[in-house]
């Protein structure tokens, strides 16, 4: 089995709150929308597609975040090796329409999101975002 390239983003809405979703695939922990890059698809196109499919939201700005790796993480529902290409993204709406991949969502003040049971890659992405905000 080969590693899978994936995209995901911490989404910042017009209220400056961030979006997290509760997902079955990460053993009901909270994370960010995202998924696999399809063959022939650019990273940006994959990220925009995944957000549209999972949340109904259109991204208006995308900035690079940390690259992470998850190798057979016990937090994920099955064995998998992910290369996680993470971003900070922005949108003009907070009207979420979830698909079947998530069971709940929350728009939260970034520091308050740390109180949720986040999967490890999401916690690291959120900490990256908060450090950026402190240094801005």
> Taking the domains of the chain in order of start, what are their residue ranges?
4-135
Mean pLDDT of the region 35-51: 97
3-class secondary structure, 83: strand
Of all residues in the chain, the percent with pLDDT exceeding 70 is: 100
Domain 4-135 is found in CATH 3.40.50.12500: no
C-alpha 59/C-alpha 13 separation (Å) is: 10
Specify burial of residue 21 (Cβ count, 10 A radius: 0-12, 13-18, 19+).
Answer: buried
Q: Binning pLDDT at 50, 70 and 90, where does residue 1 land?
A: confident
């Amino acid at each position: 089995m080969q590693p899978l390239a994936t995209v995901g983003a911490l989404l910042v809405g017009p209220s400056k709150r961030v979006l997290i979703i509760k997902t079955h695939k990460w053993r009901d922990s909270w994370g960010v929308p995202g998924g696999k890059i399809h063959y022939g698809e650019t990273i940006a196109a994959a990220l925009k597609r995944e957000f549209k499919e999972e949340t109904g939201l259109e991204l208006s700005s995308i900035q690079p975040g940390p690259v992470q790796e998850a190798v057979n993480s016990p937090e994920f529902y099955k064995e998998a090796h992910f290369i996680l290409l993470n971003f900070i993204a922005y949108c003009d709406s907070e009207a979420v329409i979830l698909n079947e991949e998530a069971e709940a969502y929350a728009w939260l003040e970034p520091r308050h999101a740390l109180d949720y049971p986040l999967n490890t890659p999401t916690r690291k992405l959120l900490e990256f975002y908060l450090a950026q905000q402190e240094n801005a």
